[in-house]
């Protein structure tokens, strides 16, 4: 199975609310780093899908574009959307674009990370400036903590 097949299977499982199906795309100790919910590892990946994604949203759509893999790392552009179940944005449709970055071990994902243009989705949801600023501050902290950012912080 190729990276393109694995990521398609994973995203289809997310959209359908099949947490076990998502977890089956990962190694036993694989980690899914979600831009909103944070990291989930192993069996907790199914919990993230079942008890976070589908608790907070409905009518998901996740389209993949231009999947490529080299030396065990897969990249794919995506457009993702859902209808919010959360107040005060209940019923609003949010749309995001981003890139998924997957470290692979054979046909399974060992590490899933995404870089998303979340500002558009937050705007769609009508988030208050304070909530949007808290989200941006969280992303700032996470980026600055990564090894590859260290040289930029001198």
Per-residue pLDDT band for 93 (boundaries 50, 70, 90) equals: very high
Higher pLDDT, 35 or 46: 46
Distance separating alpha carbons of residues 63 and 70, to the nearest angstrom:
21
* pTM for this model (two decimals): 0.90
Residue environment code for 24-36, b if the CB has 16+ CB neighbours within 10 A, otherwise e = ebbbeebbbebbb
Distance separating alpha carbons of residues 47 and 22, to the nearest angstrom:
10
CB-based contact 124:93 (threshold 8 Å) = yes
pLDDT for residue 125: 87
Q: How many residues does the chain have?
A: 154
Per-domain residue ranges of the chain: 3-145
Q: Does residue 63 sit in helix, strand or coil?
A: strand
pLDDT for residue 102: 98
Domain at 3-145, CATH from 3.10.450.50, 3.40.50.300, 2.30.40.10, 3.20.10.10: 3.10.450.50
């Amino acid at each position: 199975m190729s990276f393109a097949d694995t990521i398609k299977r994973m995203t289809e499982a997310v959209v359908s609310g099949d947490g076990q199906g998502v977890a089956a795309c990962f190694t036993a100790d694989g980690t899914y780093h979600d831009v909103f919910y944070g990291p989930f590892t192993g069996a907790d990946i199914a919990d993230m899908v079942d008890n976070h994604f589908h608790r907070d949203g409905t009518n998901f759509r996740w389209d993949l574009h231009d999947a490529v893999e080299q030396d065990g790392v897969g990249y794919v552009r995506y457009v993702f959307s859902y209808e919010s179940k959360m107040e005060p944005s209940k019923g609003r449709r949010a749309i995001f674009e981003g890139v998924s970055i997957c470290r692979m071990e054979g046909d399974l994902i060992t590490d899933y990370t995404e870089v998303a243009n979340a500002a558009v989705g937050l705007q769609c949801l009508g988030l208050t400036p304070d909530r949007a600023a808290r989200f941006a501050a969280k992303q700032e902290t996470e980026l600055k903590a990564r090894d590859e950012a260290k040289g930029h912080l001198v």
